[in-house]
Amino acid sequence: MNIQISRRDALIGSGALVVSFSFARSLTAQAQGATKPVALTEVDSFLAIDKAGNVTVYSGKVDLGTGVTTALRQIVSEELDVPIMRIELVQGDTLLTPDQGTTWGSLTIQVGGMQLRQAAAAARHALFSEAAKKLGTDQLTVADGVISGGGKKISYGELIGGKKFEIKLDPKQPVKEKAPTEYTIVGKSQPRVDIPDKITGRFTYMQDFKVPGMLHGRVVRPPAIGAKLEGVDDGALKKIPGAKMVREGNFLAVVASSEWNAIRGAAALKANWSKSETLPDQAKLWEHVRNSKVAKLEEYGKTGDSAAALAADGVKKMSVTYDFAIHTHGSIGPSCAIAEFKDGTLTSWSASQATHNLRKQLAQMFSLPPERVRCIYIEGSGCYGRNGHEDAAADAALLAKVVGKPVRVQWSRADEHGWDPKGPPTLMDMRAAMDAQGNVTAWEGDFYMPQQTPGGFLVPLVAATLTGMPAAEHIAPGNVFQNSAIPYKFPNTKSVCKRLETTPFRPSWIRTPGRMQNTYANECFIDELAAAANMDPLEFRRKYLDDKRGLELLDRLAKLAKWEQRPSPQKGTIGNIAKGRGVSYVKYELVRTYVGAVAEVEVDRATGVIRVPKFTIVHDCGQVINPDGLKNQIDGNVIQTVSRTLIEEVKFDRSQVTSLDWESYPILKFPQVPEIVIELIDRPTEKPWGAGEPSAAVIPSAISNAVFDATGVRLRSVPYTPAKVKAAMQSHAT
Amino acid sequence: MAKKSLNVNGKRVSVTYDDPQIPLLYLLRDNLGLHGPRFGCGLGQCGACTIHVDGVAVRSCITPLATVSDKQKVVTLEGLGSPQKPHPVQKAFIDEQAAQCGYCINGMIMESAAFLAKNKKPSDTEIKNALANNLCRCGTHARIVRAVKRASAQA
C-alpha cells in the first residue's frame, strides 16, 4: 500500500532518533557476526537490509513451534512496507540476536514483537528522511520497499543496502509507529512461512541438524535420582564398532560414530549404581506437599479483613481443597543438541527457549567466560517450557569436551519422560463465607507451590549435577504465583502462596505455569459459591466483575455458547450418560489477555469416563497480528490442556519416574479431541498481548464445572481419571 | 560393515550397517539424509517415524532392516511430494495450515495417505480412528482432521 508521510510526520515522536547512515562499513555475512550489535538500544541489533532490499530480522525470541516468527515477520513487514517473503529471520543466537528474554510467558509478540516494531519504525523514519533528501521532496509514498516522490523512486536497498542504520532506540522515547488504521498485513491471516517445508520433509529441525565430523552420544541414566555410579563393565562395548565409554563422576555415556551404535553401546554397558530413595510415596504425595517446609509466604490480592469476615457469625462457610498433578512436557521429539569445542570456544546448537540463559549455565559449568560460549537456537519439536533441551545441550557439551570432537546427543523417549524437569505438584486450600442473601463476604486461598530462589530462572543442568561440575542451585518453577489473586470484587480477600523449600522433582515451567493451577482452583471455587448461592455461574461471575472488557467477553461467550441461564447442577438428569456445561474466566496475570470458556461434557456414570465433545472460547488479547495463527494456538491450548486435565500424571516410585513412555504417560488421542469454537475479539488500536498460554488457564476448571453441572459432583483433583470420577460419584450418592 | 540395496522413494539406494537389527528409521535419516520420518519414541507408540512399505503405513523406528527386502517399495514424506508438487494430502495440510511445531506431521500425513488410499470418503470419526495411534502434543488435531477431510473431498 501507499502511505503519505511528510518529513514532519516522520519526525514527530521520533524521540532519540538520530539519522546518520554509516556508509563506511559493509555487512558481509562473516563480518556481520563479528561486528553486529546485539544491544536492545540499537536498530542494527534487530534489523539489516541488504542491497537487494531483503530484510533480515534478528529475534532473541524464538519459534517454539507456535508459528510466531511468521507473526513477527508480519509486524516488521507492516511497519516497513516490505513483503513478508523478503524478510528472513535469525533467531536465538547469542552472537547475533539481542537478548529479548526467554521465550516464555506469552511475551513474544507482546514484548519481543513490540521491540521489533519500534526498530522497524525507527528504520522506516530514517529511510524516509534519507529518501526525502535524495528525491528532493517530502511528499513520499512507499510500496514493497520502494519509496516514491516527485516522479522518482528509490529502494530501501539503494538507500541502506548492506550498511548500518546506527540509530539508537530509547524505550522512554518511543518512535512513532504506523497507525493501526493503515494496517494491511497485521491483523490479517497469513500462511506460516515454515509450513510447506514441514509438510514435505524439507525442514531442518534440531533433530535433523548435523555438523561435519560429529559423533553421536547416548547417556546412560541412573536408575534412581541421586544414585552413585559404583562400577561399570564396558566389555561388551568392544563388539560395537567405534563405540567408546565416557565416565565423569556419575555421568555415564557412550559415544559412537553412528546414533544406532551409540544406542546399542549404551545398552551394552553393565553399570552398578547405589540405591537411592529421595522421592516421597506417591500415594501420600499431597500429605508430603502439605507438610513440606515453607520457605516464604507471599500475599496477593489482599482486600479488607478476610480472617475476620470468615470468623463472623451468621455466614455460610465453605472450605475445600484442590490438587493438580505433576506433569511432564512430553514433546513428541525428545530433546537433542550438538556441541563443539574449538579454539577455546564452545558452540552449542539446541532448541533451548533461553539461549542467553543457557550460555550463562554452560559458561559456569565449563568455567568459561560467557563470551567464549555461543548458543544457537534451532527449532525442535514443540516446546512448552523449560524441558530437556538445555540438559541435552549440557550432555553434548560435556561429551564434546571429553572426546575433542563435535557430539550430537539425542535423548530417548525414556530420557525425556524421566529426566525433563517437571511441572510441580500444586495444592490449593480455598475458603469463603457467604451471607444469607448469597453474597460472598470473604475469600481466601492458600496455594502450595515450590519457591523461586533468587537470582534467576536457571534450572540446574542434569549433566552438571551428575558430574559435580559447577552449577546453579536454583529452584525455578517460573512465576507460578500469578493468578493466585482473583479478578472478582469480593469485600474481604487474600491469596497466600506458600513457597515450599523443596518439591519432589526438579521443577520448571510447563505452559501456563501456576496460572493454570491457580485459575483451576479459583474458577472451580467460584463455581461452588455460585451453586451455594443458587445462581447461574456465569451471572454470578458477572455480578462480581467491574472490568468492561471482561464483562463484554463474558456476554459474547454466553451468546456464542448459547448459554442457558440457570444454576448448576441441572435438575432431573437421568440415564447413564450425564451431560452438562461449565464456564470459566481468566484475566491473565490480572493485567492482560482475557479468556472465557464454556466446556460441554458427557460423563459415563458407569465407567467414570469423561468426554468433552465441545469447547467454546472467546479470546481478547488486544491487537491480533495473525488471526489464523492465533486460532491455531488456542486450539493447541485447549487440546493440550484437556489432555493434562483428564489423563496426565507423572508416576513414580521412591527412586525415579516410572511413567517412561506413552503407554504409562498417555496423552489425548484423536477420538477424544473436542470440537473447538473460537471467537477472537480483535482490538487493533490496543496493545497486542500474549496468547501462547492464557486460554490453557481456563480449561481444567471449565471441565470440572461442567461435570458438576452434569452430575452434581465436584472434581477437585487433576487429572479427572475414571477411578476418581467414580469414587466422587459414589461418595456423593451416599 | 555390511551393505544392502533398498528401493526408497522410487530410487535404488544402498545403505551400510553394522547391525542387521538396526531400525530402518536410522538408515533413512543418517545414511540417506531423509528428514521426513522422525524419531519420537523408538517404541512404535507415537507415529512420528511413519513411512510406507508397499503402500502400508509402518513404524520405521521398530522395523528392523533385516525385515525389509530390496523388492519392497519404501516411501517417505519426501517421496510423497515436494513443496513445488505436493501430494494431495500434503496440499490439504498446507491449505488448512495443519501444523504447529510440525514434528508429528510426517506421521499424520503418511498414515492419512495410506488410509485414504483404502477409504476414499471417510467420515470424521473414521479419520479420527485411523489416526488414533498418532500422537500430537501441540494440539493440532482439529486442523489435521479437517486437512484429511479436505484431501478426501478433492480425491
- A450-466 confidence digits (pLDDT tens): 999 987 899 999 999 99
CB contact B112 to A (< 8 Å): no
Higher pLDDT, B155 or A259: A259
pLDDT-derived band at B74 (thresholds 50, 70, 90) equals very high
Q: Do both A611 and A728 map to the same domain?
A: yes
C-alpha distances in Å from residue A619, one per residue of A83, A188, A192, A643, A701: 28, 16, 21, 21, 17
The string over A480-499, giving b where at least 16 C-beta atoms fall within 10 Å of a residue's C-beta and e elsewhere, is bbbbbbbbbebebbbbbbbb
Residue in B80, B82, B100, B125 to test binding to A, most A beta-carbons within 10 Å:
B100
A578, A603 contact by CB (below 8 A): yes
Q: Which of A445, A640, A625 is nearest to A523 (CA)?
A: A445
> Measured between alpha carbons, how far is residue A262 from residues A218, A236, A266, A392 in Å?
6, 13, 6, 15
Q: Which residue has the higher pLDDT, A635 or A18?
A: A635
DSSP class of A512: S
pLDDT of A444 above 90: yes
A416 pLDDT higher than 90? yes
Does the CB of B127 have a partner CB in chain A at under 8 Å? Answer: yes
Question: What distance in Å separates residue A169's CA from the closest CA in chain B?
Answer: 33
With cut-offs at 50, 70 and 90, classify the pLDDT of residue A573. Answer: confident
pLDDT number for residue B155:
64
pLDDT at A51 over 90: yes
A200: nearest CB among B43, B78, B103: B78
Do A64 and B101 lie within an 8 Å CB cutoff? yes
Across the interface, do A669 and B135 touch by the CB < 8 Å criterion? yes
B154 interfacial to chain A (CB closer than 8 Å): no
CA–CA dist A513, B2 (Å, integer): 50
Same domain, A245 and A181: no
> In this structure, what CATH number is given to the domain that contains residue A349?
3.30.365.10
The CATH class, in words, for B2-79 is alpha beta
What single DSSP character describes residue A230? E
Residue A601 lies in a domain: yes
Query: Same domain for A55 and A78?
Result: yes
**Strand partners for A338:** A349, A408
Question: pLDDT tier at A23 (50, 70, 90 boundaries)?
Answer: very low
CA distances from A650 to A325, A328, A654, A691, B99 (A): 7, 7, 13, 27, 27
Which pLDDT belongs to residue A733? 79
Nearest to A65 among B77, B102, B133 (CB): B102
Cis peptide before A569 (omega within 30 of 0): yes
**A130 and A69 part of one domain:** yes
At residue A29, does pLDDT exceed 70? no
Query: Does residue B73 have a pLDDT over 90?
Result: yes
B26 in Cβ contact with B65 (< 8 Å)? no
Residues in chain A closer than 8 A to B83 (CB atoms) = 196-197, 200, 202
Query: Tell me, what's the pLDDT at A19?
Result: 35
Final residue before a domain boundary, out of A372, A398, A419? A419
**Assigned domain for A450 exists:** yes
**CB-CB contact of A706 with A582 (8 Å):** yes
| Domain finish residue from A370, A385, A419 | A419
Q: Note whether B105 contacts A: Cβ–Cβ < 8 A.
A: yes
CA angle, A633 then A75 then A68, to 5°: 25
| Contacts B76 to A, Cβ<8 Å | 201
Question: Phi/psi class of residue A39: alpha, beta or left (left: φ > 0; alpha: ψ in -120 to 50)?
Answer: beta
Work out how many domains chain A is built from and give that number: 4
Cα–Cα distance between A468 and A130 in angstroms, integer? 57
Average per-residue pLDDT for chain A: 94
Residue type, A194: D
* pLDDT (average), residues A628-651: 98
Closest C-alpha among A474, A425, A484 to residue A453: A474
Residue entry with cell 502462596: A497
Give pLDDT, residue A187: 98
**For chain B, percent of residues with pLDDT exceeding 90:** 95
In a domain, A197, yes or no: no
pLDDT at position A472: 84
pLDDT at residue A9 greater than cutoff 50:
no
Residues 6 or more apart in contact with residue B91 via CB below 8 angstroms:
B81, B151, B154
pLDDT band at residue A13 using 50, 70 and 90 as cut-offs = very low
Residues A534 and A645 in one domain: yes
Output phi, psi for A624, to 5 deg: -95, 135
Answer whether residue A497 shows pLDDT above 70: yes
The predicted pLDDT at position A4 comes to 40
In a domain? residue A624: yes
Which residues in chain B touch residue A671, judged by CB atoms under 8 angstroms apart? Answer: 125, 128-129, 132
Query: Is A465 a member of any domain?
Result: yes
Give, in order, the Cα–Cα distances in Å from A623 to each of A12, A542, A627, A684: 23, 24, 10, 4
The yes-or-no verdict on residue A34 having pLDDT over 80 is no
* A500, A529, A552 - which closes a domain: A500
Residues A366 and A464 in one domain: no
Query: Can you give the residue range of the structural domain that contains A98?
Result: 7-192
3-state secondary structure of A56: strand
Residue A84, C-alpha cell as written in the block? 513478508
Q: A271 with A287, same domain?
A: no
Mean pLDDT of A578-590: 98
Residues A392-415 have a mean pLDDT of 98
> Which pLDDT belongs to residue A455?
79
**A125, part of any domain:** yes
A424 in a domain, yes or no?
no
CB A382 within 8 A of CB B101: yes
Does A388 lie in the same domain as A258?
A: yes
Q: How far is B128 from chain A (nearest CA, A)?
A: 5
The band of A7, judged by pLDDT with boundaries at 50, 70 and 90, is: very low
- Whether A232 and A342 map to the same domain: the answer is yes
Predicted local distance difference test score (pLDDT) of residue A16 = 34
Picking from B101, B135, B141, B144 by the largest number of A CB atoms within 10 A of its own CB, the best residue to mutate is: B101
Q: How close is the nearest chain B Cα to the Cα of A664, in Å? A: 11
pTM here is 0.95
Closest approach of chain A CAs to the CA of B142, in angstroms?
7
- Each domain of chain B, given as residue ranges in start order, spans 2-79, 81-154
> A363: which 3 cell numbers?
559458561
The per-residue pLDDT for A26 is: 36
- Of all residues in chain B, the percent with pLDDT exceeding 70 is 99
Among A103, A199, A210, most B C-beta atoms within 10 A, so best to mutate, is A199
Closest by Cβ to A676, choosing from B93, B106, B142:
B142
One CATH from 3.30.1300.10, 1.10.150.120, 3.90.1150.10, 3.40.109.10 for B81-154: 1.10.150.120
Give the pLDDT confidence of A261-283 residue by residue, as tens digits: 999 999 999 999 999 999 999 99
Q: Is B122 on the interface with A (CB under 8 A)?
A: no
Strand partners, A581: A600
Grid cell digits, residue A65:
513451534
- Give the cell for residue A590: 490480572
Q: Residue A134 carries which side chain, given as an amino acid letter?
A: K
Q: Using 50, 70 and 90 to split pLDDT, how confident is the model at A589?
A: very high
B94·A331 Cβ contact <8 A: no
- Portion 51-90 of B in contact with A at CB < 8 A: 76-78, 80-83, 86, 90
Cis ω on the peptide bond leading into residue A370 (within 30° of 0)? no
Nearest CA in chain B to A333: B40
Domain identity same for A356 and A436: no
Residues of chain A found within 8 Å of residue B36, distances taken between Cβ atoms: 200-201
DSSP label at residue B27: I
Strand B73-75 vs strand B50-53: parallel, antiparallel, or unpaired?
antiparallel
The closest CB to that of A382, out of B83, B101, B125, belongs to: B101
Count of A-B CB contacts under 8 Å: 184
Helix axes B88-95, B105-118, angle to 10 degrees: 130
C-alpha distance from residue A50 to each of A27, A57, A86, A93, A98 (Å):
8, 12, 11, 20, 19
Is pLDDT of A25 > 50? no
Return the closest-CA partner of residue A390 out of A506, A232, A495.
A506
Round the average pLDDT of chain B to a whole number and report it: 97
